[in-house]
Amino acid sequence: MMGNEKKNAIKERLPVRRLNRILAMLLLEVKSLTDEGRDLPIRWSLMHMYSSSQLAKLLAIHRGIDPELAGIAAALHDIGVVMTKKHRGHAEAASPYVYDFLGRYNRELGTKLTKVTEEEMEAIVKAVVQHSEKELNSNDPFVELLRDVDSIDAYLHGVEIEGSRLERCKKVMKELGIEMK
């Protein structure tokens, strides 16, 4: 790469440094956890949260939503499963865990990263708490994005889906111009 091209490439970098730190923190938090007493293996939760984060950024860019914030919400969307070990009611139970996690991020971020603001935290928590309500439609595009991402990520991992999850997958695939097989 020549000098000017390198300068331009740096300007084109997606600003996701906070998300990357949050993903690193998430990995450190879950790597010592075991599958004992869990509805789902911890490796599934981690894999799903990471891949959902990538999909969220992509879909957010497509929809004109902040990709970093979408990625953070997706990375934390199943923290209720991780912390309670149960899938049932995990979204509704997630709120204190999301606040705690983001609070720790804000305290430990160092000097090179910006904090997650109160407004951003509220948007993340709202989307996380409501992400399992796939049959509902929200006027909040951020909530809808997380519901769609959770559905499409499960499908892409080969999880059998039906009902409103399947409808969301079809809608997203059509939105992206992809024929669903």
Please give the pLDDT value at position 117. 96
Query: Is pLDDT at 56 greater than 90 in this prediction?
Result: yes
Q: Which domain holds residue 82?
A: 17-29+37-175
- CB-based contacts of 173: which residues, under 8 Å, 6+ apart? 152, 179, 180
CA distance 122 to 33: 27
Phi, psi of 179 (to 5 degrees): -80, 125
Q: What is the pLDDT of residues 134-175, one digit of tens each?
A: 999 999 999 999 999 999 999 999 999 999 999 999 999 999
Q: The CATH number of the domain where 70 resides is what?
A: 1.10.3210.10
Q: How many domains does the structure of the chain reveal?
A: 1
Residue 2, CA atoms < 13 Å, CB-side half-sphere: 2
Q: Taking the mean position of all CA atoms in its chain, how far away is CA 61?
A: 14
Average pLDDT for 17-35: 94
> Count of residues for the chain?
181
In a domain, 1, yes or no: no
Degrees to nearest 5, angle at CA 87 with 70 and 48: 40
